[in-house]
Structure 1
Amino acid sequence: MRRFTHRNESFVCGHCKTQVHAAARTCRNHCPHCLYSRHLDVFPGDRAANCGGLMAPVRVTYHSRKGYQIVHRCERCGHEAVNIALLDDPVQPDSLDALLAIMRMGG
């Protein structure tokens, strides 16, 4: 069974309505402006989740090889997932201010 499906698509954010472009170096699955995501996947990119709820950014972690990561929690079912912060994406970088705001909230 595949645990990762490469899927890097443009979309409109379900939370703030920002037009989100595909990332340059990896798969983008969250809004670079408000950092929200949507609960679509069981495994990254598979689109197998039946929930579809908005995933709120609840905290930030740091991984020695992956860098800063955003932890999202589904507002509908409570599922949590971790996504790499794309602060250096040349197309549409994640908002450092939004990331810092999550960190200041204790997340």
Structure 2
Amino acid sequence: MSRTAQNQGFTCENCGASVAPLSNGSYRNHCPTCLCSKHVDIKPGDRASACRGTMRPQHVEHRRRKGLVLVHRCVACGFVRPNKIADDPVQGDDIDAIIALMARHR
């Protein structure tokens, strides 16, 4: 699947926010408002998972090559996947939501 095909806007199934695709060369895989994602991939970008459960953010951690990542867990099947935080100043993730998540998991 091409990055253009993957970089699509969507409506968040958790909070209902309308999420625009990123325009900085990356693509969005979680809602910037509530930070939830959807379990659609087995390997990043393949869209091969039949689960389609909601992926809730569990905590934030730092990865040497990726920087800050959200660690998501699927509420339906328990699958865990890290996702890079979108730190774009215009289209980035809600910093208050990230700080609240970090505060819950000290």
Q: Fold conserved (TM > 0.5)?
A: yes
Q: CA separation in 2, counterparts of 1:58 and 1:5?
A: 29
Aligned residues: 103
Unaligned ranges ≥5, structure 1: none
Q: CA separation in 1, counterparts of 2:42 and 2:22?
A: 21
Report the secondary structure of 1:97's partner residue. helix
Match of 1:61 in 2: 61
Report the secondary structure of 1:77's partner residue. coil
Percent identical: 41
Q: CA separation in 2, counterparts of 1:5 and 1:67?
A: 24
**Structure with higher RCO (Cα < 8 A, 6+ apart):** 1
Match of 1:81 in 2: 81
Q: CA deviation at 1:70?
A: 0.4
- TM-score calculated relative to the size of structure 2: 0.90
Unaligned ranges ≥5, structure 2: none
Question: Aligned Cα RMSD in Å?
Answer: 1.5
Q: CA separation in 2, counterparts of 1:28 and 1:58?
A: 18
Larger helix share, 1 or 2: 2
Q: CA deviation at 1:13?
A: 0.2
Q: CA deviation at 1:45?
A: 1.5
Q: CA deviation at 1:5?
A: 5.6
Name segments (4+ residues, structure 1) moved above 2 Å.
none
